[in-house]
Amino acid sequence: MKKIIVTGCNGQLGRAVNALYENSNEYELVNTDFGVEGVRDLDISDLDSVVSFVNDVKPYAIINCAAMTAVDMCEVKKDMAYSINAIGPRNLAIASTEAGAKLVHISTDYVFGGDGTVPYREFDKTGPRSMYGHTKLAGEEFVKSFADRYFIIRTAWLYGDGKNFVKTMLRLSESHDEVTVVDDQIGSPTSSYELANAIGSLVPTMNYGTFHGTCDGSCSWAEFTEEIFRLAGKKTAVKKVTSEEYKALNPASADRPKFSVLENYMFSLTGGYAFADWHDAIDRYIGEMNQKGQIG
């Protein structure tokens, strides 16, 4: 069995990756996280710990799902954000090279400035606006510098098994007749199920490089919320506001990209994974929540 180390195994993507490989006869997952009961504790910001652990496991691949994704918190705890989002990937890159393992590193649409109108391709110039974006871009650069065989996948607006925007909106709908949501930030809601499948399609290949990995199509956060409520049968109204209006209500919030739609150009060029349309993906997700009795 080929071993795959999964960091951040208890997050939305980590859980989706575990579901993907659950019945695999070829791969064995070695799950790690930080402060999670029942799995190996691994601080990816500690180089010696990472190198020792990777050399001990001797993995075929490492899938790095660990990240500090709290965008507003990154503005406040900058050192922590750099430690997790930049130094962590650097350490995993160094360890993967020493062990001869492939590295899958997950990045974000926030590496772009978000001031365009055309979907970003992998070859476009980056220009993050937030500390989260800066730290994630630094992580990408470290991976490129120190990993021999890597896949960097930039994704966006992720939802899956865990805390996410979809569940937050559904929870608010239980106690609110109206929710206020930004309508001028455009992106591509992406299912962790789809992203995990894309990762699984790359792992056995030599199709190395930087990829964009999001569901097809785009919408605003407000439009996404309306679709969530429609599929879940909720009557809650969506009050659409601008980013500036939202910022006035929440002064501590960090700047978000206005337009961060990613084109999965590298997957297209290399005959790789074809993501589902975002409408179909959220329909599947809401359907699964209904089946599990998770929607009131």
Mind listing the pLDDT tens digit for each residue in 13-70?
Answer: 999 999 999 999 999 999 999 878 888 899 999 999 999 999 999 999 999 999 999 9
Mean pLDDT, residues 83-108: 98
* 132 in active site: yes
- Please give the helix or strand (H or E) that residue 7 lies within, else none: strand 2-7
Cα–Cα distance for residue pair 224/279, rounded to 1 Å: 9
Confidence of residue 254 (pLDDT cuts 50, 70, 90): confident
pLDDT of residue 74: 97
pLDDT higher than threshold 80 for residue 252: no
Rounded alpha-carbon distances, angstroms, from residue 158 to 12, 65, 144, 209: 8, 12, 24, 21
Rounded alpha-carbon distances, angstroms, from residue 42 to 35, 36, 64: 9, 10, 12
β-strands 27-33, 40-41 pairing? parallel
pLDDT of residue 249: 83
In the predicted model, what is the mean pLDDT of the chain? 96
CB-CB contact of 191 with 272 (8 Å) = no
pLDDT higher than threshold 80 for residue 263: yes
pLDDT of residue 117: 93
pLDDT of residue 41: 92
Report all structural domains of the chain as residue ranges with CATH numbers, in order of start.
2-164+189-215+261-276 (3.40.50.720)
pLDDT of residue 296: 80
Cα–Cα distance for residue pair 112/201, rounded to 1 Å: 25
Token pair recorded at residue 116: 């365009």
CB-CB contact of 161 with 127 (8 Å) = no
pLDDT of residue 37: 81
pLDDT of residue 69: 95
What is the signed CA dihedral for 246, 187, 80, 164, rounded to 10 degrees?
Answer: 80
Q: Which of 132, 159, 193, 273 is catalytic?
A: 132
Q: Is the dihedral of CA 148, 262, 82, 138 positive or negative?
A: positive
pLDDT of residue 36: 80
pLDDT of residue 39: 87
Strands (E), 49-175: 61-64, 102-108, 150-155, 158-159
Q: Closest Cα to residue 63, out of 200, 194, 169? A: 200
pTM of the predicted protein model: 0.96
Q: Which amino acid is at 76?
A: V
